[in-house]
């Protein structure tokens, strides 16, 4: 049945792929239409669509499918609200632990797990919370926010890669411990507002070894966590530190932690540089740093961009603002944007000189 998009209803099913001004479908065959899909069809000025004929079987599909494809208003409201308090509480508890480590206290793994596992589990199961995490934090307490964020994002990536829930939680623990060795670095270096000199960089690079030494004699630490802490600044091509190990010598945990650590560092505000948008960081990791990270892990990190769905407001590198209307799976960092001023629809895939500079607050 062929109809005009204005006559389409939520819950109807597309019979064919539908294209806009792209080489790939803007909405694929067998998609159950939601309000968001209807908005996309309107924005792309599609004149006709083919809907599956409403046999009794299809009517049943139409009746039940929206409940599966679109979350209820209650869950969409509860999700970010439930995550952020857990996240902020984890940051507060981690800060206390870190200060104790600096004073010479031994790491209590059980206390650490109790502090971070609730927010890790929430971030794994409700990834919309990653968006709240992305917008939280401050430069003064960067170290503590970064540790908890690394814990959550690393576990999220591990789940995307098919790791067991137990492994995901272990990777989350490793993420929180990656910078425990920073407690042995001079506070003057940690608090410095500008770039570090060569001597300071050399001392800072010791934090992964310091962390390894703090953990290696603890009976409750798994080998993967220990190696993850030691190797989270190593790279696939051997260009990292402290030991320049590479390839198959890198533990699977450390490969995940390495990619998540860089992504979070580049998307966070620092005293000496501004943060980059998640879209720009993914593009840099895919291109400029090709070979340093496991491609499968980069794809899993890219899945995290799904939190910035159609309707997300952005500022482009040329100063224009607009709204994401569609993202192609093959080019997740370069979605299709409707510009505010002209209402024109542009594909960043076809405009290589322009990129998303900032995700705007809603």
Kind of pairing between the strands at 321-326 and 336-339: antiparallel
Cβ atoms of residues 253 and 225 within 8 Å? yes
In the prediction, which pLDDT does 44 show? Answer: 66
Residue 95 tokens, joined: 């800060």
- 224 and 323 in a common domain: no
Could you report the per-residue pLDDT of 197-210, keeping only the tens digit for each?
999 999 999 999 99
Q: Is the pLDDT of residue 68 over 50?
A: no
Of 53, 69, 85, the position where a domain reaches its end is 69
Least confident of 107-111, 123-127, 199-203: 123-127
* Segment 280-291 mean pLDDT: 79
319 pLDDT above the threshold of 90: yes
- 329-355 confidence digits (pLDDT tens): 778 889 999 999 998 999 998 888 999
Same domain, 228 and 263: yes
Per residue in 10-54, pLDDT tens? 888 888 887 765 555 667 788 888 766 776 776 666 778 888 865
State the pLDDT at residue 65: 38
- How many Å apart are CA 213 and CA 226, to the nearest integer? 9
Asked whether residue 252 falls in the same domain as residue 319, the answer is no
Query: What is the per-residue pLDDT for 79?
Result: 37
Q: Tokens 């049945």 identify what position?
A: 1
**Domain shared by 155 and 216, yes or no:** yes
Average pLDDT, the chain: 84
Together in a domain, 267 and 328: no
Angle in degrees, CA 85, 89, 92, rounded to 5: 145
CATH of residue 175's domain is 1.10.3210.10
- Which residue has 């589990």 as its token pair? 121
Cα 60–31–17 angle (5° rounding)?
130
Same domain, 286 and 301: yes
Share of the chain above pLDDT 70, in %: 86
pLDDT recorded at residue 205:
95
Burial code (b: 16+ CB inside 10 Å, e: under 16) for 163-179 equals: beeebbbbbbbbbbbbb
Give the pLDDT band (50/70/90) at residue 288. low
Q: Is the pLDDT of residue 303 over 80?
A: no
CB atoms within 10 A of CB 10: 16
Query: At which of 263, 281, 305 does a domain end?
Result: 305
Q: Answer for the pair 43, 338: CB distance below 8 angstroms, yes or no.
A: yes
In sequence order, the 6+-apart residues with CB closer than 8 A to the CB of 129 are: 79, 80, 82, 83, 84, 87, 122, 123, 152
Same domain, 58 and 79: no
Angle at 232 (CA atoms; ends 267, 253), nearest 5 degrees: 105
Q: Regarding predicted confidence, which is higher, 355 or 130? A: 355
For 118-180, the DSSP string reads: HHHHHHHH-TTHHHHHHH---STTHHHHHHHHHHHHHHHHHHHTT--HHHHHHHHHHHHHTTG
Indicate if 23 and 121 belong to the same structural domain: no
- Dihedral angle sign, alpha carbons of residues 314, 319, 325, 326: negative
Domain of 275, in residue numbers: 73-305
User: Can you read off the two tokens belonging to residue 70?
Assistant: 């679109």
DSSP state of 32: B
Sheet with 313-316, side-by-side order of all strands? 345-347, 336-339, 321-326, 313-316, 356-359
Give the pLDDT band (50/70/90) at residue 136: confident
**In 4-72, which residue ranges form alpha helices assigned H by DSSP?**
35-43, 56-69
CATH number of domain containing 316: 2.30.30
Is residue 172's pLDDT more than 90?
Answer: yes
Same domain, 25 and 82: no
pLDDT value of residue 66? 38
Same structural domain, 189 and 228 = yes
CB 331 within 8 A of CB 299: no
Tens of pLDDT, residues 216-250? 999 889 999 999 999 999 999 999 999 999 888 99
Q: Does 251 lie in the same domain as 107?
A: yes
The residues that bridge with 316 in the sheet, in sequence order, are 356
Alpha helices in 56-141 (DSSP H): 56-69, 73-102, 109-125, 129-135
Say whether pLDDT at 5 is over 80: no
Matching residue, tokens 């503590």: 144
Is the model's pLDDT at 57 over the cut of 50?
A: no
If one counts the domains in the chain, the total is 3
Buried/exposed code over 262-293 (b: 16+ C-beta within 10 A; e: otherwise)? bbbbbbbeeeeeebbbbbbbbbbbbeebeebb
How much is the average pLDDT of 119-141?
81
Stretch among 81-90, 137-146, 284-293 having the lowest mean pLDDT:
284-293
Share of the chain above pLDDT 90, in %: 48
Domain boundary among 269, 288, 305: 305
Residue 41 CA, distance from chain mean position:
28
Beta-bridge partners for 346: 337
The total number of residues shown for the chain amounts to 362
For residues 146 and 283, state if they share a domain.
Answer: yes
Q: What is the CATH number of the domain that holds 8?
A: 3.90.105.10
């Amino acid at each position: 049945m062929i109809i005009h998009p204005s006559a389409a209803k939520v819950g109807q099913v597309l019979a064919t792929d539908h294209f806009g001004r792209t080489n790939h479908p803007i909405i694929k065959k067998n998609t159950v239409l939601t309000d968001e899909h209807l908005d996309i069809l309107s924005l792309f000025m599609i004149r006709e669509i083919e809907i599956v004929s409403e046999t009794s079987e299809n009517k049943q599909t139409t009746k039940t499918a929206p409940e599966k494809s679109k979350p209820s208003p209650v869950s969409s409201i509860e999700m970010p609200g439930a995550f952020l308090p857990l996240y902020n509480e984890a940051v507060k508890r981690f800060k206390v632990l870190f200060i104790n480590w600096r004073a010479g206290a031994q790491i209590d793994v059980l206390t650490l797990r109790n502090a971070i596992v609730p927010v890790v589990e929430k971030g794994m199961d409700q990834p919309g919370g990653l968006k709240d995490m992305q917008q939280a934090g401050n430069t003064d307490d960067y170290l503590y926010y970064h540790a908890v964020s690394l814990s959550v994002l690393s576990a999220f990536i591990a789940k995307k890669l098919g790791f067991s829930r137990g492994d995901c939680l272990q990777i989350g623990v490793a993420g929180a411990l990656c910078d425990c060795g920073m407690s042995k670095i001079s506070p003057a270096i940690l608090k410095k507002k500008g770039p570090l000199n060569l001597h300071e960089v050399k001392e800072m690079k010791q934090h992964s070894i310091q962390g390894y030494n703090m953990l290696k004699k603890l009976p409750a630490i798994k080998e993967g966590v220990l190696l993850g802490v030691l190797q989270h600044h190593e790279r696939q091509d051997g260009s990292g530190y402290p030991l320049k190990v590479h390839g198959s010598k890198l533990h699977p945990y450390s490969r995940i932690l390495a990619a998540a650590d860089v992504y979070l560092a580049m998307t966070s505000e620092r005293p000496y540089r501004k943060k980059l948008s998640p879209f720009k960081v993914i593009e840099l990791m895919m291109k400029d740093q090709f070979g340093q990270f496991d491609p499968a892990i980069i794809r899993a990190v890219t899945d995290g961009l799904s939190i910035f769905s159609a309707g997300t407001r952005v500022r482009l590198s040329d100063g224009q603002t607009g709204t994401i209307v569609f993202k192609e799976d093959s080019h997740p960092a370069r979605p299709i944007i409707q510009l505010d001023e002209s209402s024109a629809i542009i594909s960043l895939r076809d405009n290589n000189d322009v990129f998303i500079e900032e995700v705007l607050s809603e």
